[in-house]
Amino acid sequence: MNLCLAAALAKAIYEQIASPLERVREKALAPFRSLQLQPTIGVNPNDGSFSFSFGVAQRQADIDATLKRLFELPAELGGARSRRTALVMDEFQEIVEIDPSMPKLLRSAFQTQTEVSHVYLGSKQHIMKRIFNDANEPFWRSAKSVELGMIPAAPFADFIRERFRVTSKSVESGVADELLELTGGHPYATQELCYFLWEQTPEGEVATRVHLEEAIAAVLRSEHAHFSLLWESASAAQKQVLRALARESGHPFSGAYRDRHDLPAATNVQKALRALVQREVVAGDGGAYRVAEPFLAEWLRANIDGVYPGSL
């Protein structure tokens, strides 16, 4: 995985920094010849683009030295031309899965790069918080945390209607709003449901509530394997809590809520919720909880009502 990261990083540095600064190909490739491990550089005959790869049988020390050098290159290349550089890393929490020692290596490379802006994007909040808020982590207090909220419904609905319009389809009044209410404005969930809604709507026609219902059913079929694995990995108490929250978001610790949904003692509910929140399947605020995984609540209700075969 470290070598895959090195290859992807080398390609990004070449395409986004080295090539724009150095118009001559050989000068743009020159920085990569100083790496501890020399990459194999391939050329796509169709478009002339470059690819980078590293041999698999390498010493860990050489891999680490190569990665650190790659992370130093953006500052050096930009600084040589008095250009400020931004390094944006998506799904940054995955560095921990790639190699637990990776944050320390990255921090040692980044901490002196005052001319480079570092942007860390991540979808797993609990891991991102640990990386940047734990005093024992190398990246502690090294960046300002900004939690991106949901896209506001009104402009999101306008965007959906516009994207249908440019593909010779349209959306019935209120359907885009209903779709966003179902997804809660979650970007990925909205994109997924919109795709299936677009697929269910014939060319030149209007997407109606009937098409939306068909799209929801298609999404649940598409996610069935994923949700089945998630369900099977949950403990008995977690399953009880999930079923309850799928029927009714609310306060699972209250006696009335637990009675309505036949939940176990509050201590067992608390333990189950802690695990589900850690997995980001459930989200809570002020003691109120809801199923956060997009479409999982709908899938659970569908299974509970017997839409899909199999017993929960």
pLDDT (0 to 100) of residue 24? 56
**Do 247 and 214 belong together in one domain?**
no
Task: For residue range 109-148, list pLDDT tens digits in order.
Answer: 888 888 888 999 987 787 888 899 889 999 998 888 888 7
What is the pTM (predicted TM-score) of this model?
A: 0.66
- Of residues 179 and 285, more confidence is placed in 179
**Do 6 and 104 belong together in one domain?**
yes
What's the average model confidence in pLDDT over 270-298?
91
CATH number at residue 212: 1.10.8
**Do 266 and 297 belong together in one domain?**
yes
Total domain count for the chain? Answer: 3
From residue 272, alpha-carbon distances to 35, 125, 300 in Å are 48, 19, 17
The two structure tokens encoding residue 198: 């677009």
CATH number at residue 240: 1.10.10.10
What's the average model confidence in pLDDT over 69-90?
83
The two structure tokens encoding residue 10: 């080398």
Task: Assess if residue 216 is contained within a domain.
Answer: yes
Task: Assess if residue 48 is contained within a domain.
Answer: yes
**Do 113 and 68 belong together in one domain?**
yes
**Do 22 and 118 belong together in one domain?**
yes
pLDDT range class, residue 307, cuts 50, 70, 90: very low
**Do 79 and 175 belong together in one domain?**
no
* Cα R_g (the chain), whole angstroms: 24
Domain boundary among 227, 250, 266: 227
Residue 65 pLDDT > 50: yes
Residue 301 pLDDT > 50: yes
The two structure tokens encoding residue 12: 């990004």
Residue 34 CB-density burial (10 A; 0-12 exposed, 13-18 middle, 19+ buried): exposed
Q: H-helix or E-strand containing 176?
A: helix 175-183
Task: Assess if residue 71 is contained within a domain.
Answer: yes
* Domain with 269 in it: 234-304
**Do 248 and 215 belong together in one domain?**
no
Residue 306 pLDDT > 80: no
Residue 275 pLDDT > 90: yes
Task: For residue range 247-274, list pLDDT tens digits in order.
Answer: 999 999 999 999 999 999 999 999 999 9
Judged by DSSP in three states, 171 sits in strand
Judged by DSSP in three states, 88 sits in strand
Task: Assess if residue 139 is contained within a domain.
Answer: no
**Do 54 and 103 belong together in one domain?**
yes
Task: Assess if residue 56 is contained within a domain.
Answer: yes
Task: For residue range 184-216, list pLDDT tens digits in order.
Answer: 888 889 999 999 999 999 999 999 999 999 999
Domain boundary among 101, 133, 165: 133
Domain boundary among 186, 210, 227: 227
**Do 52 and 127 belong together in one domain?**
yes
Quote the CA–CA distance of 238 and 244 in Å, as a whole number. 10
**Do 122 and 40 belong together in one domain?**
yes
Task: Assess if residue 146 is contained within a domain.
Answer: no
Residue 308 pLDDT > 50: no
pLDDT (0 to 100) of residue 48? 76
Judge whether 213 and 202 are in contact, CB under 8 Å. no
CA 52 to chain centre: 25
pLDDT (0 to 100) of residue 304? 65
**Do 263 and 242 belong together in one domain?**
yes
**Do 110 and 158 belong together in one domain?**
no
Task: Assess if residue 140 is contained within a domain.
Answer: no
Long-range contacts of 19-28 (CB under 8 A, 24+ apart): 21/77, 21/78, 21/80, 21/81, 21/83
Judge whether 117 and 87 are in contact, CB under 8 Å. yes
Residues contacting 31, CB < 8 A, separation 6+: 13, 18, 73, 76, 77
Residue 245 pLDDT > 90: yes
Residues contacting 142, CB < 8 A, separation 6+: 107, 110, 111, 132
Q: Which range, 3-7, 37-41, 138-142, 147-151, has the best average confidence (pLDDT)?
A: 138-142
